[in-house]
Amino acid sequence: MPALSGRTTQALSKESKDSSLTSLALLRAGAPLGMTAALGMTNPICLDVVSCDLHVRRGDELDDTAGNMTWSDPTPDPVSPNAPQAYATAWDPRAVRDLLFRPARFFRSALPYAPGTGLKVIAWVIGMNYAIGRIERQLVRADLGQQTSATAFYSESWIGFWTVVLISGALSGLLAWYLGTWWFRVRLRWSGAVNPDAARARAVYLHSSLVWAAPTVLSAIVATLTSPSYAAAWADSGWGDVMLLVFPFWSCVVSYRGVRAAFDVRPGAARFWFLIAPAVLITFAIGLFAALYAALG
């Protein structure tokens, strides 16, 4: 599972040592990075975005016959491997744009499900995000006085850091590929999908997870170029790191819209399993980390 981003939580707490102000900052920020690969991410903002977006989806209808307003939710378009290709390549800027801002259109195209679209690379990036999360958990433990002998290897040397991230990321990517897809399909079944296709589920899961994993890895690359070590980057973390929180928030919308576009699911059940349940876990994690850093003063 992706780890809670201690660096981001630390940044929030460093900006506001007072416990109440820390809680307010956490609530405004929403959630830490990478809480769980399986459940995805959300906060109330996600629900608002989805609610507003439902009004403009093709096929939405309002039936006021007999004087009563009733909501008819659209049935997702079927996705065929032979569907017209809207993008030139997997890295077409239009594909990136649509994944971020028009995920329903992206997941209705043939691109996410076509061979040779780099899904294994995406899984590796997601695995690297998990590895960075584990390193950050160890740095949190070090802040709490529980530093281990191995901490210096990856926290004081960029060579050690990337060695751990790349190797551990490959192993974690395998877990995302198989275990993450399995759990994603379980939630699809609970949302009403009948025997969801494994390859299609994997594509939706990995692409939506990339929305929050890629910025985390890119942030580490930037830190490599600007700081002498990851420990130094960790110590200098500030409100800039908090900006990364927008990506896991948006990832939950991408995941939900992808599920609705690619599978025939019950809207309410899908909203619970891909939005509400993760929010409960994230809220618990925020409170836990806020309490830890408030205890540190």
DSSP string, 51-69: HHHHTTSTT-EEE-GGG--
The CA distances from residue 137 to 155, 196, 229, 243, in Å, are 12, 35, 16, 20
Distance CA 10, CA 134 (A): 15
Give the pairing of strands 70-72 and 61-63.
Answer: antiparallel
Q: Which alpha helices (H) appear in the chain, and where do they start and end?
A: 6-15, 19-29, 44-54, 93-101, 103-108, 119-143, 151-155, 158-175, 181-190, 198-226, 230-235, 239-242, 246-262, 267-271, 277-296
Q: Splitting the chain (297 residues) into consecutive groups of 10 residues, what average pLDDT does each group show?
A: 50 44 37 38 36 36 35 44 63 91 94 88 96 89 76 92 97 97 97 96 96 94 94 82 80 92 96 86 76 70
Q: What token pair was written down for 41?
A: 């991410």
pLDDT the model gives residue 7: 55
Please give the full DSSP string across 212-248, using - where no structure is assigned.
HHHHHHHHHHHHHHHSSSHHHHHHT--HHHHGGGHHH
Distance CA 244, CA 33 (A): 8
Burial call 181-200: b when 16+ CB within 10 Å, e when fewer: bebbbebbeebebeebeeeb
Contact present, 32 and 9 (Cβ < 8 Å): yes
Question: Whole-model pTM?
Answer: 0.72
Query: Residue 71: which H helix or E strand, with range?
Result: strand 70-72
- How many Cβ atoms from other residues are within 10 Å of residue 62's Cβ? 9
- For residue 112, the 8-state DSSP code is G
The CA distances from residue 96 to 9, 90, 204, 214, 297, in Å, are 28, 9, 14, 12, 42
pLDDT the model gives residue 60: 37
Distance CA 42, CA 251 (A): 8
Place of tokens 């997601």: 126
pLDDT the model gives residue 135: 92
Distance CA 265, CA 273 (A): 11
| CA-based end-to-end distance of the chain | 29
Contact present, 33 and 162 (Cβ < 8 Å): no
Q: What token pair was written down for 4?
A: 């809670």
